């Protein structure tokens, strides 16, 4: 008989904090992916997901930065115990401290789908860089890989328009 997973979200978040891991994947099925994420003390990229997302703040508060179709940056504040829906294709950046955690649900990626990560100049808002990944297994933590690629390169972090260099965390 199939056992449906039952997860204590508060305990899962506490374990992430204790181990300093960023993500605990709860399940990955063809039409469903769920994970608990611990906040990052420094987050600057905008993720463009090929599927819709639902984010639920288990502990703490999230400031969800997102870019409108006109390219303007906006912020939605998500208090503890609240959920938000983010449609596929919306550049978004969930920012919350490392002692907070959220439940994220989305569709597992289909073959060949691409996740994109964008950075913008903190001085003039010009586009800086894009990292792309085909995410077949979310336990690979694509956000951390994108960060490493971006922050390891001064060229990627330097604005072609105004010359500002985004500092590494």
Considering the domain 9-157, what is its CATH architecture? Sandwich (2.60)
Go through 106-135 and write b for each residue having 16 or more CB atoms within 10 A of its CB, e for each that does not. bbbbeeebebbbbbbbeeeeeebbebebeb
Q: Which two tokens stand for residue 89?
A: 């294709």
Element (H, E) at 133: strand 127-133
Domain coordinates in residue numbering, the chain: 9-157
Query: What pLDDT is stored for residue 141 in this prediction?
Result: 75
Q: Give the model confidence (pLDDT) of 88-123 as tens digits.
A: 999 999 999 999 999 999 998 888 899 999 999 999
Contact partners, residue 136, CB within 8 Å, separation at least 6: 109, 111
Q: Would you state the pLDDT for residue 75?
A: 97
Phi, psi of 142 (to 5 degrees): -60, -30
Average pLDDT over residues 81-85: 98
For residue 1, what pLDDT is reported?
64
Encode pLDDT of 6-51 as tens digits.
Answer: 899 999 999 999 999 999 999 988 889 999 999 988 888 999 999 9
Round the average pLDDT of the chain to a whole number and report it. Answer: 92
140 vs 74 pLDDT, higher one: 74
């Amino acid at each position: 008989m199939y056992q449906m997973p039952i997860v204590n979200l508060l305990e899962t978040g506490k374990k992430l904090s204790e181990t300093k891991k960023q993500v605990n994947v709860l399940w990955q099925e063809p039409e469903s992916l769920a994970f608990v994420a611990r906040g990052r003390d420094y987050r600057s990229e905008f993720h463009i997901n090929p599927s819709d997302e639902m984010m639920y703040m288990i502990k703490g508060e999230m400031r969800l930065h997102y870019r409108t179709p006109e390219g303007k940056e906006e912020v939605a504040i998500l208090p503890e115990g609240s959920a938000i829906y983010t449609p596929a294709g919306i550049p978004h950046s969930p920012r919350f401290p490392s002692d907070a955690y959220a439940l994220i649900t989305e569709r597992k990626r289909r073959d060949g789908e691409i996740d994109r990560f964008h950075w913008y100049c903190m001085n003039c808002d010009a586009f800086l860089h894009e990292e792309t990944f085909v995410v077949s297994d979310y336990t690979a933590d694509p956000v951390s890989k994108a960060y490493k690629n971006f922050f390891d390169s001064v060229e990627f972090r330097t604005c072609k328009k105004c010359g500002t260099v985004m500092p590494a965390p």
